Structure 1
Amino acid sequence: MSTISSLTLSGKLRRDAGVVGLLLASTTSIIGSGWLFGAYHAAKIAGPLSIGSWVLGAVIIMLIALCFAELAALFPRSGALVHMSHASHGEGLGRIWCWLLFLAYVPVPAVETEAIVTYANNYLPYFIRPGSEGLLTTTGFVACAALLGIMALLNLMVVRWLLNVNSTITWWKILVPVLTIIGLMMASTHWSVMSAAPDTYKLSGMFTALPAAGIVFSYLGFRTAIDLGGETANPHRNIPLAVIGAVLIAAAIYIMLQVAFIWALSPADLAHGWANLSFKGEMGPFAGLAASLGLGWMATLLYIDAYISPGGTGLMYVTGGSRILFAAGEMDAGPQWLIKLNRNKVPWLSVLVMWVVGAIFLLPFPAWQQMVNYITSITVLTYGLGPIALLVLRRNLPELKRPFRMTGASVIAPLAFICSNLVIYWTGLKTNSFLFSMVAIGFVLYAIYYHFVMRKPAAAFGWKNISWLLPWFGGIWLLSWLGGIGGGRGVIGFGWDILLVSIWSVIVMALAMRCALGANETSAMMERMDRTS
C-alpha cells in the first residue's frame, strides 16, 4: 500500500456538514470585509454607476459559480478545486493549479485581519501609519498575526462544531448589513446625490471598480462549500444548492448596501467630486456615515461587526485553504504530511501552514486595498480553469451521471472564462506584472526541482497538457501592458480592450481544449481519485 493510501485510510475526514452549514459557510466567506469597505471604494471610482458594478460583479460570479456547481457535484471531496485540474489536464497542471489555489487562499485571512485593525484604528490609533492610506505599523502587523493565530486555533475543532460556530456568526453577518441598509435609507435626506458631480466619474469606472474596489473579491467566497465537499453526507445535492444560494444572498445584500451608502452621502461630501469623496470616519465608511446621520447605535453596531464579519470570513478561508493543502498531499502535489489529521479529523499541519504563510503575506501588501487587488487577480485566474474543465469533462465523459447539470454549458462556460480574463485585465498592469512574475518564478523553481532534484522524466511532467498556459498568461499580460489601467501604455482604448480580451479568451479556450487529456486518461484519473476519497 502506498504512503498516500495508508495515510488517507488511517483517518477519514468527518462528513458532518449539512446543506445549511455549507450554505452559511459560503455566505460567511462572501460577506466579510468587502461589505465594510467595498461600497466606499466603488463610489470613489464609479460614482453612482458603482451600483451597476455590484450587479455586473454578481452576474460574472454567478456564471463562474454555475460552472463550479456542476463540477463540485462530480468531485464531492475536500479540496475539490485541485482534483478538477487533475481530471481535465493531468498531474502537471494539477500540481501547478494546486499551488496557485494556495496562493489565492492564503492571503484572504490576512486581508480580513487588516480590515479588523483598520476599523479599530478609528479609536485605537496604533495600528495604521498616519497618512499612509492604510499601511500597517509594527503593532498592527503583530495584531494581525495574532488574529490569524486565533483563526487557526478555531480551525482545529471538529468540522461540525466549526460550522455551528460559523452559522451563528453568519446570521449576525446577514442581520447587520440588512439593518444598515434600512437605517441609512430611512435616515438619509440627500437622495439627490445620485446625480451629483456627473463629470467626476466615467463609464469605464464601472468596470475597473470590479477588482479595484474589491467587488469581485467580495463575491469570491462561494467556493467554501466546494472545499468542504468531502465533509458533507450528501454532496451531490448540498454543494450546488449552497454555492448558488450563497451568491444570490450576497448579491442582494451588496447591491442594496451600495444604494444605501450613496443615498446617505451629503452634497458636502462630494464637494471635490466622487474621486475625492471624503467624510469624517472614512476609515470606517459605514460607521462614519451612521454617526454623521445621528445613528449612534448603528455606528456602535458596525464597529462591533468590523470584528465579526471579517473574522468569520477569515475563519472559513483558513478552513478552505487547509483543505486545498490536504488535497495537494492526497494527489501527491505536495508533501505527505499535509494530510496528517488530528484527533478531530482536521488536517492540522495544513492549518498551521495557512497561519504562518498568511502572516508573511502581510509584509508585501500591508494595506487592505493593495492586497485585495492581488487576491482578486490570482483567485479569478484559478477560477478560469473551471469553465475549461467543465467542457473537457462534458467532451470526455458525456455519459457520466451528473447530479447537477447546468443548462447551456456551451454558452455559459465560454462567457465565464471571458469574464474571468476581463477581471484579471481590469486589475491593471501593476498588479498583473507582480502576479505573472510570481507565477513564472514559482513555475521555473518547480520545473528545476522536478527535473534536476527529483530526476523525473520530462514526459511525466505533462508539458503537452500545460503548454496553453504560456499564451494565456502571456497574452493577458501583453493586453494589460497595451491597455490603460494600472500603468499600462494606453494604446488600447476602452471598449476595444474588452473586445480584444474576449477574442483572446476564445483562442486560449480552444488551445486548452486541444491540450486536455483524452477520454481514457480522464477516466483513469477519475478512478484514481475515487480510490483516495
Structure 2
Amino acid sequence: MSNYTNPEDRAESRDRELKKTLGFWQVMFFAFSSIVGSGWLFSALYASSTVGPASIISWLLGFVLILFLTLVYAELSGMLPKSGAIVRYPHYTHGGLSSFLVAWAYILGAATTPAIEGEAITQYLSSIFPSLTSNGYLTIWGFLLVAVMTVIFFLMNYYSVYLVGKFTEAIGWLKIVIPLTTALLVFTLYFHTSNFTNLPGGFLPYGASSVVLALPTSGIIFSFIGFRQGLEYGGEVKQAQRNVPLGTIAGMLLGAFVYILLQLAFIGGVDWKAISTSPGNWAALSSTVLSNGPFYELLKLSSVPALVAFSVILFVMAVASPLPNVAVYMGTTARAFYGSAAAGNLPSSFLSLSKRKIPYVGLIASLILGIVYTIPYPTWVYIAEFGTLSVVITYIVAGPSLLTLRRVAPDARRPFRLPGAVLISALAFIGAYLIVYWATFSFLWGVFAAVMLGFPFFLIYTSSNRYGVSRRYALTIGIPYWVVLIAATYFLVYQRIIVPYNSTSGAGLPISLQYVWPFVVYIALMVALTFGGIWLIRGRANEEGRIHMRAGLWMLVVLFSAVILSYIGQFGVFKTPIVPFPYDTILAALVSLGLFVWSVRSGFKTNELEVALKTSSADQAGS
C-alpha cells in the first residue's frame, strides 16, 4: 500500500492541535480588512487612470467575478474547514501535480502582500518624509521601514493568532467608518458631476477593452481576492463549518460596497485645475500629485475647510489601514506552506507547531519572502499586479474541486450548499481564467515563467518522495529544465519581445516574423520539456503517482493556453492584435470552458480526501 497518505494523516493530527480562537467577526474582518487594505488607498486612482469614469463598471464586473469564487469557496470551506485550505482542496480532488502548481503559485502571490502593504504605507508617508522614496522606488530608508514592519507582524503572528484576529477586528471597524466618511464628505462638499459625462472622451474615453484591462492591472482584483483570508485560518475557527463561509461572504459584500462608493467619490472629486491637468486626461492622473496618496491629496487640495481637516484623519488611517494585512497575509503564507506540507509537496517540518500552536516554520519562510519581495518592485501597482496574477491562477481550480466533491462525496455534510453549483462553478473558472488573460502579456510572461520555475521541484521532490521515482533520475530531468527555462525566457521572450515592446512605451510592435519566431520557439521548447518531463517521470512512478499526474495535466494546459492567447490577443505586444477585442475574450472564454469540462472529469477521490472526510465526520460526531 502506498505511503502517500502519511502527510495528510500527520496534518490531521496537527489540525487537531491548532487553537480554535477565531469567531465569525474575526473571519469577516479577515476578509473585509484584506479586501479594504492598501487597495482603497490607490486602486481608485489607477482604475480611473486606466478606464476613466467607466472604472465604476470595472469594479462591478470585478465584484461579480470574484463573488462567484467566494460562493464556491463558501461551500468548500463549510464542508472541509482547513488551515492552508486554498492549497489543500485541489489536492483532495485532483492530486499532487495540480496541488503543487496551485501551492507554488499561491505562495508566490500571497508572500508579496506584506511588501505590497508596506509599500503602500511608505508611499503615503513619503508625502511627509520624501526621503523614503526616490523616483517611485523605495530608498534604503523606505526598505528598512517596510522590513521593520514585517518583523513586528511576524512577532505578532508568532505570539498568537487570536491577537492577530483582535487587532484586525479593531482596525476593521475604523476601515468601515473612515472610507465611508471620506466618500460621504466628497459627495456632499466637493463633487463634480461633470466628470462623469461632460469631459472630452465622455464616460468611456479609452474604449471597452479598458474596462477589463483595469481588473488585474489597477488593483481591483488584488483588492477583491482578499476574501480568502478567513478560509486560510479555517482550522483555527470556532464552529468553522458555519463561521468560515458566512464570515467570508459577509466580508466580501461589505468590501464591495465600500469600494464602489469610494470609486464614485474619487471620480467626482477630481479637480482638474487643482492638479494642473487638462480636463478629461484621466491617464495622466497617476503622474500627478495624487499618486502620493489619492484621497489624502484630493481632500487637501480641495481648499474646503472640513475636507482639509479630515485629510489629517485620513492620512493617519491611510498609514494604519494596511497594517492588519501585513499580519494576516504573513499568517496566510505560513498556512500555505502548512497546507503544502499536508499535501506532501513540502517537508513535514512545515507541519511543525510552536508551543503556542502556530505553524512557525512556514511563518519564518513567509517573513523571509516578505522582505525579499520588497526589493525588486518600484511602486504599489507593479507588485500588486504580480501578486494578483499569481493568486488568481490558483483560484481556477475552485470550481472543479467543488463539482468533484459533489460527485465523489455526495453525502458529506455541507452547511452551506451552493445553489446552481454547476453554472456558478463554471463561471468562477471562466472568470478566473479571463482575469489572468486580461492581465496583458507584458506581465503574464513573467508570472508564467515564475510558476513554471517551480515545476522541477515537483519532479525532484514530490515524485521521488511520494511516487517512487529515483531522486537521481528526477534530477536529470529537473536541472536541465531549469537551465532551458531561464535561458529561453531571457533570450527569447525578454530580450527579443519585451525589451522591444517596452521601447515603444506601450504603443505596440508591428506583426513581424522578427517578434513571432522567438515566441513560437519558446512555447515549443517549454511544451516539449514540460509534457516530456511528465511523460518520463510517469514512466518511473508508482500507480498512485501516475493517477495524480494524469489528473493534473489540465492545469499545465491552463498555464500554456493563457500565455499563448495573451500573446496573440488585444492585450498582447502587437500594435494591431492578431485577435482583437472582443473576439479575443470570446475565444479565451471558449477555451476556458473546454478546460473546465476537462478539469471536472479529471477529478477523483484521493486518499487524502478520504482521511479528511473521516476526520470531519468524527469531529461532527464529537461536537
Per the normalisation by structure 2, the TM-score is 0.81
> Aligned pair 1:458/2:458, yes or no?
no
CA drift at 1:348 = 1.9
Provide the residue aligned with 2:486 in structure 1. none
Find 2:201's aligned residue among 198, 201, 205.
198
Of 167-176 and 140-149, deviating more is 140-149
The alpha-carbon distance between structure 1 residues 289 and 520, as it changes in their structure 2 partners (threshold 3 A), is closer
**Which amino acid in 2 is paired with 1:252?**
F
> Aligned pair 1:108/2:113, yes or no?
yes
Provide the residue aligned with 2:250 in structure 1. 245
Provide the residue aligned with 1:475 in structure 2. 561
**Which amino acid in 2 is paired with 1:366?**
P
Provide the residue aligned with 1:152 in structure 2. 154
- 5 Å-filtered alignment, 1:200-239, equals 200-239=205-244
Q: Measure the CA separation in 2 of the matches of 1:513 and 1:8.
A: 26
Q: Measure the CA separation in 1 of the matches of 2:566 and 2:65.
A: 20
Provide the residue aligned with 1:292 in structure 2. 301
Provide the residue aligned with 1:170 in structure 2. 172
Q: Measure the CA separation in 2 of the matches of 1:356 and 1:108.
A: 13
> Aligned pair 1:71/2:71, yes or no?
no
Q: Measure the CA separation in 2 of the matches of 1:520 and 1:421.
A: 25
Q: Measure the CA separation in 2 of the matches of 1:476 and 1:283.
A: 34
**Which amino acid in 1 is paired with 2:278?**
A
The alpha-carbon distance between structure 1 residues 393 and 9, as it changes in their structure 2 partners (threshold 3 A), is closer
Of 314-323 and 266-275, deviating more is 266-275
Q: CA contact under 8 A between 1:201 and 1:274: conserved in structure 2?
A: no
CA drift at 1:142 = 2.1
Of 505-514 and 210-219, deviating more is 505-514
Find 1:54's aligned residue among 50, 56, 59.
59
Find 2:588's aligned residue among 501, 504, 510.
501
Q: CA contact under 8 A between 2:38 and 2:120: conserved in structure 1?
A: yes
- 5 Å-filtered alignment, 1:280-429, equals 280-294=289-303, 295-429=307-441
The gaps in structure 1 that reach 5 residues or longer are none
Of 85-94 and 501-510, deviating more is 85-94
Note the alpha carbon deviations across 1:147-190, whole angstroms, 9 max, x for none.
Answer: 11112111112222221121111111111101111111122152
Of 152-161 and 58-67, deviating more is 152-161
Q: Measure the CA separation in 2 of the matches of 1:215 and 1:381.
A: 16
Provide the residue aligned with 1:120 in structure 2. 125
Q: Measure the CA separation in 2 of the matches of 1:262 and 1:495.
A: 26
- 5 Å-filtered alignment, 1:433-444, equals 433-444=445-456
Q: Measure the CA separation in 2 of the matches of 1:301 and 1:416.
A: 38
The alpha-carbon distance between structure 1 residues 109 and 395, as it changes in their structure 2 partners (threshold 3 A), is same
**Which amino acid in 1 is paired with 2:567?**
W
**Which amino acid in 2 is paired with 1:361?**
Y
The alpha-carbon distance between structure 1 residues 64 and 527, as it changes in their structure 2 partners (threshold 3 A), is closer
Find 1:484's aligned residue among 532, 556, 570.
570
Provide the residue aligned with 2:163 in structure 1. 161
Q: Measure the CA separation in 1 of the matches of 2:609 and 2:473.
A: 28
**Which amino acid in 2 is paired with 1:197?**
P
SS in structure 1 opposite 2:131?
A: coil
The alignment of Structure 1 onto Structure 2 pairs a total of residues equal to 529
Q: Measure the CA separation in 2 of the matches of 1:111 and 1:177.
A: 20
Q: CA contact under 8 A between 1:201 and 1:275: conserved in structure 2?
A: no
The alpha-carbon distance between structure 1 residues 208 and 446, as it changes in their structure 2 partners (threshold 3 A), is same
Of 346-355 and 215-224, deviating more is 346-355
Q: CA contact under 8 A between 1:20 and 1:242: conserved in structure 2?
A: yes
Q: Measure the CA separation in 1 of the matches of 2:360 and 2:618.
A: 19
SS in structure 2 opposite 1:467?
A: helix
Find 2:283's aligned residue among 275, 281, 300.
275
Q: Measure the CA separation in 2 of the matches of 1:244 and 1:6.
A: 31
The alpha-carbon distance between structure 1 residues 432 and 6, as it changes in their structure 2 partners (threshold 3 A), is closer
Q: CA contact under 8 A between 2:353 and 2:359: conserved in structure 1?
A: yes
CA drift at 1:9 = 4.2
The alpha-carbon distance between structure 1 residues 280 and 369, as it changes in their structure 2 partners (threshold 3 A), is closer
CA drift at 1:246 = 0.7
Provide the residue aligned with 2:536 in structure 1. none
Q: CA contact under 8 A between 1:8 and 1:532: conserved in structure 2?
A: no
The alpha-carbon distance between structure 1 residues 531 and 366, as it changes in their structure 2 partners (threshold 3 A), is farther
Note the alpha carbon deviations across 1:451-474, whole angstroms, 9 max, x for none.
Answer: 452778523442211111232111
Q: CA contact under 8 A between 2:88 and 2:342: conserved in structure 1?
A: no
Q: Measure the CA separation in 2 of the matches of 1:528 and 1:474.
A: 37
CA drift at 1:138 = 2.4
The alpha-carbon distance between structure 1 residues 325 and 72, as it changes in their structure 2 partners (threshold 3 A), is same
SS in structure 2 opposite 1:155?
A: helix
Q: Measure the CA separation in 1 of the matches of 2:325 and 2:364.
A: 17
Q: CA contact under 8 A between 2:96 and 2:552: conserved in structure 1?
A: no
**Which amino acid in 1 is paired with 2:264?**
V
Q: Measure the CA separation in 2 of the matches of 1:223 and 1:6.
A: 25
CA drift at 1:62 = 0.5
Q: CA contact under 8 A between 1:173 and 1:308: conserved in structure 2?
A: no
Q: Measure the CA separation in 2 of the matches of 1:531 and 1:189.
A: 56
Q: Measure the CA separation in 2 of the matches of 1:71 and 1:103.
A: 23
CA drift at 1:7 = 8.0
Q: CA contact under 8 A between 1:279 and 1:288: conserved in structure 2?
A: no
Q: Measure the CA separation in 2 of the matches of 1:515 and 1:197.
A: 51
Q: Measure the CA separation in 2 of the matches of 1:471 and 1:281.
A: 41
Q: CA contact under 8 A between 2:441 and 2:566: conserved in structure 1?
A: yes
Q: What's the C-alpha RMSD, in Å, of the aligned pairs? A: 2.3
The alpha-carbon distance between structure 1 residues 171 and 325, as it changes in their structure 2 partners (threshold 3 A), is same
Q: Which is higher, the Rg of structure 1 or of structure 2? A: 2
Q: Measure the CA separation in 2 of the matches of 1:340 and 1:296.
A: 51
Flag as ranges the 4+ runs of structure 1 deviating above 4 A.
1-11, 454-457, 519-523, 527-533
Using the aligned pairs only, state the percent identity.
29
**Which amino acid in 1 is paired with 2:157?**
N
The alpha-carbon distance between structure 1 residues 479 and 525, as it changes in their structure 2 partners (threshold 3 A), is farther
SS in structure 2 opposite 1:225?
A: helix
Note the alpha carbon deviations across 1:217-263, whole angstroms, 9 max, x for none.
Answer: 01111111111110112111111111110111001100000001111
SS in structure 1 opposite 2:17?
A: coil
SS in structure 2 opposite 1:524?
A: helix
Per the normalisation by structure 1, the TM-score is 0.94
Provide the residue aligned with 2:488 in structure 1. none
Provide the residue aligned with 1:93 in structure 2. 98
CA drift at 1:520 = 7.2
Q: Measure the CA separation in 2 of the matches of 1:198 and 1:97.
A: 41
Note the alpha carbon deviations across 1:284-311, whole angstroms, 9 max, x for none.
Answer: 1100000011322222112211221111
Q: Measure the CA separation in 1 of the matches of 2:350 and 2:596.
A: 33
Q: Measure the CA separation in 2 of the matches of 1:365 and 1:50.
A: 25
The alpha-carbon distance between structure 1 residues 83 and 281, as it changes in their structure 2 partners (threshold 3 A), is closer
Q: Measure the CA separation in 2 of the matches of 1:515 and 1:112.
A: 38
CA drift at 1:212 = 1.1
